[in-house]
Amino acid sequence: MFLKLLLMALVIAGAVLAVRMRQPGREPARPVAPAPAPSSGGRFSPVRIAAAAVVLLMILGTGLFLYLQWRDAHEIVVVRVVDSSSGRSVTYEAYQSDVEGRSFRTLDGRVVTLAEVERMELSGRD
């Protein structure tokens, strides 16, 4: 939580600094020197190529992260519910993302809620 607040403060400080840098200074106006003619290789400068590569890498990383999250959430797991008092067990199949706390939703849409004397065991599908 502290790191989130620190990150937010850094972003705000950066935004304030950027706005101050863009505002014209209070110094008297100086004559502006003519800008040099742009070079012919300015369109594909190394800085632009590096920036484009970083943006492309970020987009690919985000896509990979979202795909892996989706794949893990849609993995089918075997849920075994064991009654501690009698030792009986019942086996169900559910998506990993549908298992929450002491309840889960099976593949066929049934919602199963465990009692206090039951325990849940998860395992991968064979």
Dihedral of the alpha carbons of 110, 116, 117, 123, in degrees to the nearest 10: 50
80 contacts 121 by C-beta, under 8 angstroms: yes
**pLDDT tens string 30-89:** 666 676 655 555 678 888 999 999 999 999 999 999 999 999 989 999 999 999 888 899
pLDDT for the residue 43: 73
Token pair listed for 40: 């012919």
Mean pLDDT (the chain) is 85
pLDDT value at residue 65: 95
Phi, psi of 45 (to 5 degrees): -75, 155
With cut-offs at 50, 70 and 90, classify the pLDDT of residue 16: confident
Q: What integer pLDDT is reported at residue 8 of this predicted model?
A: 84
| Domain boundary assignment for the chain | 45-74, 75-124
Written as one letter, the residue type at 54 is V
